[in-house]
Structure 1
């Protein structure tokens, strides 16, 4: 009889100690439900019926809590096209994050941009401001063209990278002779 009373007492203690706080459970459940995940992502961007870009990534996470975001934590590649679907440039990075509310894009870790002229930008971090329609960085940048190699810190460039400015240039710079074309 004593054994049964002890067993009953142990079971009662175990059952009463397994109480869950309903608020904690709801908070945990809401955090888990506040993200969407996807694999083998392909997104086509178009405007006015014309394709502007194609984004591909192995995984995507979308956070639904404010501020909402879309993150590519395992890499992404973007192909940017002109009006006749000609490839203008490609962009790749190991990580990317798009803030849905303001449209800002943050790219990091081995960011590479190559435009149709064969110019290549390498940097650790690149940001896109859709309101100003520019790419910018405060990190170290390397630009390689068919004729030059440029190095520095900080960058501003237009959306198709046809115009770009290194904010703090470092190393030798080759200046072409502007009078050579006149002779």
Structure 2
């Protein structure tokens, strides 16, 4: 084979080898599409307002966003709920959280601690959900509510509350609490 013919055949051969490497793998395994986060954000601050008044502020060190617009918050989540006058009414701290776009539902998990500053009550649970559309907070998990004023401790399974925790109901309550009027009510 002469040199000029080799210079013509060699690039064609290399091109065909390169093209044969493209396409489906020959192993028979199907390649799964990427399911991981498409975006990572550090030092997140989300603000929710109504009628130009701040109602909720969420802060966390990291957020992952996925193709379906779901979000995960793998670091501690801090949330502040504000009252009508802009004052801090309730604070929430948790180990982590997530947002489900299809349900429009935020969920915080781990050691969840909610403090209502006005009522001086503390709520402890392992998981809590917040729906920004209905402005309701709820859980099916065990809860404990501790009054810092009276020392009352209420326990239960499940809770429903408005978003600032000024009103709540425990679904299956247990515990010791004081009742006005004494015995024989």
Aligned partner of 2:145 in structure 1 is 143
SS of the equivalent of 2:33 reads: helix
Q: 2:47 aligns with which of 44, 49, 67?
A: 44
How many aligned residue pairs are there? 160
Aligned partner of 1:133 in structure 2 is 135
Aligned partner of 1:90 in structure 2 is 91
Aligned partner of 2:111 in structure 1 is 110
How far apart, CA to CA, are the structure 1 residues paired with 2:55 and 2:163?
12
How far apart, CA to CA, are the structure 1 residues paired with 2:144 and 2:22?
55
The answer for unaligned runs of 5 or more in structure 1 is: 1-11, 179-183
How far apart, CA to CA, are the structure 2 residues paired with 1:155 and 1:176?
24
Q: Do 2:77 and 2:108's aligned partners in 1 also have CA atoms closer than 8 Å?
A: no
Residues 1:158 and 1:94: Cα distance change in structure 2 (over 3 Å): same
The answer for unaligned runs of 5 or more in structure 2 is: 1-13
Equivalence map 1:27-106=2 (5 Å): 27-28=33-34, 31=35, 35-65=38-68, 68-106=69-107
How far apart, CA to CA, are the structure 2 residues paired with 1:131 and 1:69?
17
How far apart, CA to CA, are the structure 2 residues paired with 1:137 and 1:150?
15
How far apart, CA to CA, are the structure 1 residues paired with 2:166 and 2:181?
21
Q: 2:181 aligns with which of 167, 177, 181?
A: 177
Residues 1:131 and 1:54: Cα distance change in structure 2 (over 3 Å): closer
Q: Deviation of residue 20 (structure 1)?
A: 5.5
**Is the helix fraction higher in 1 or 2?**
1
What's the C-alpha RMSD, in Å, of the aligned pairs? 2.8
Q: 1:162 aligns with which of 143, 161, 166?
A: 166
**Structure having the higher Rg:** 2
Q: Deviation of residue 21 (structure 1)?
A: 4.2
